[in-house]
Chains A and B, each alone.
Chain A
């Protein structure tokens, strides 16, 4: 599903990483680890198509409609409510039975009671839950998740554990994290940045 050969990324004179090779087959769960600034986020942005590689080749055999992305920002409008944000993305992704699906996700991620509140009033953890709802809304094939546990309380983290385990058999995962032990039971491989 993903093949990187000699992949490199620079921002001006700053080299983020160089000569990176890896493959991700359909159904794999690859955990990306490494210290801050080592290039985990950059790699995920390259895979999502949000940035272009400086050198090497990167093939991602998935259309945009089949990619679910969670980044450092929740990618939601702060002046819109949780429901309005998900409705916007649901329309753009042509999600079938959109309203039912949004309702189910909001319920599952514990945001149903806050569905009419503007995202600006949400805590960091609630925003992360909303970001996960947004990324899972269209049932993607490829999940690109950058520190998906950030901001979540214990209950939220356990909820995400369950959600990932449930989606694991029908998805392919590329997940950057500082807590690789948490994802150990799901992982099929590990890519460690120095």
Chain B
């Protein structure tokens, strides 16, 4: 299957998810409300004397749990009426379903962060280039791995438990890399670590997604 055809399928599927969200508006508003609320709570809960490391750690906690909120709803339209069967039957590379879903999740997370990062700068401290680059790379990893795990959890009866139980351990390296990129004087090696994480997990998810959506 050609790369161009694969890219066209991914774009078709991602556009469909964005259109569904524009209609239903049940994921992005929840993510926005959650991330802003979390930062407000952290602002009042953490003393003014707390270190930059601590405040950046809280930013990453807010990002990871906001992403988890969105990922929990990622496959709801497919699950509710068995539409995933229709996508699985389509003659496209099945990993296009995963990548399309991952890109849509990335768009939602980026939109939430467009509010969250200025809010963080307002409540805590300024945002540096290392943080922005770290967030961008981490978002990619979060959404690609998270979409994969979300697809796995769809088939399970205990899906609300399975998603965080599988996703959060896999997100630990992202938090380590993200916090490092935010506070280190030379964030280069943390950014390289995040890029490597993204590349490795993207390949793993791409290669194994077929087995997640077929029996």
How far apart are the CA atoms of A90 and B110 in the complex, in Å?
Answer: 30
Cβ contacts under 8 Å, A8 to chain B: none
Q: Are A78 and B81 touching (Cβ within 8 A)?
A: yes
Q: Are B16 and A80 touching (Cβ within 8 A)?
A: yes
Shortest CB distance A59–B (Å): 17
Looking at chain A's contact residues, the main secondary structure is: loop
Cβ contacts under 8 Å, A93 to chain B: 90-91
Cβ contacts under 8 Å, B82 to chain A: 71-73, 75
Cβ contacts under 8 Å, B20 to chain A: 77, 79-80
Cβ contacts under 8 Å, A49 to chain B: 88-89, 214
Q: Are B77 and A75 touching (Cβ within 8 A)?
A: no
Q: Can you name the residue of chain A whose Cβ is closest to the Cβ of B82?
A: A73
The answer to whether A64 has its CB under 8 Å from any CB of chain B is yes
Instruction: List A residues 41-77 near B (Cβ within 8 Å).
Output: 48-52, 63-65, 67, 69, 71-77
Cβ contacts under 8 Å, A75 to chain B: 81-83, 85-86, 89
Instruction: Give 1 or 0 for each of B36-56: 1 = CB within 8 Å of chain A CB.
Output: 000000000000000000000
Looking at chain B's contact residues, the main secondary structure is: helix
The answer to whether A17 has its CB under 8 Å from any CB of chain B is no
The answer to whether A91 has its CB under 8 Å from any CB of chain B is yes
Partner of A74, one of B77, B81, B87: B81
The answer to whether B24 has its CB under 8 Å from any CB of chain A is yes
Shortest CB distance A140–B (Å): 10
- Chain B: how many interface residues by the 8 Å CB criterion? 24
Q: Are B88 and A92 touching (Cβ within 8 A)?
A: no
How far apart are the CA atoms of A51 and B88 in the complex, in Å?
Answer: 11
Q: Count the A-B residue pairs with Cβ separation under 8 angstroms: how many?
A: 73
Interface range, A side: 20 to 34
Partner of B9, one of A67, A79, A80, A92: A92
The answer to whether A88 has its CB under 8 Å from any CB of chain B is yes
Cβ contacts under 8 Å, A76 to chain B: 81, 83, 86
Cβ contacts under 8 Å, A67 to chain B: 89
Q: Are B91 and A64 touching (Cβ within 8 A)?
A: yes
Shortest CB distance B91–A (Å): 4
Q: Can you name the residue of chain B whose Cβ is closest to the Cβ of A79?
A: B23
Cβ contacts under 8 Å, B85 to chain A: 50, 69, 71, 73, 75
The answer to whether A84 has its CB under 8 Å from any CB of chain B is yes
Q: Are B215 and A52 touching (Cβ within 8 A)?
A: yes
Cβ contacts under 8 Å, B90 to chain A: 64, 89, 92-93
- A interface, CB within 8 angstroms of B: 48-52, 63-65, 67, 69, 71-80, 84, 88-89, 91-94, 118, 134
- B interface, CB within 8 angstroms of A: 8-9, 12-13, 16, 19-20, 23-24, 77, 80-83, 85-92, 214-215
Would you mind naming 16 contact pairs between A and B with Cβ atoms under 8 Å apart?
A49-B214, A50-B215, A63-B91, A64-B90, A73-B85, A75-B81, A75-B83, A77-B81, A78-B80, A79-B20, A79-B23, A79-B77, A89-B90, A91-B8, A92-B9, A93-B91
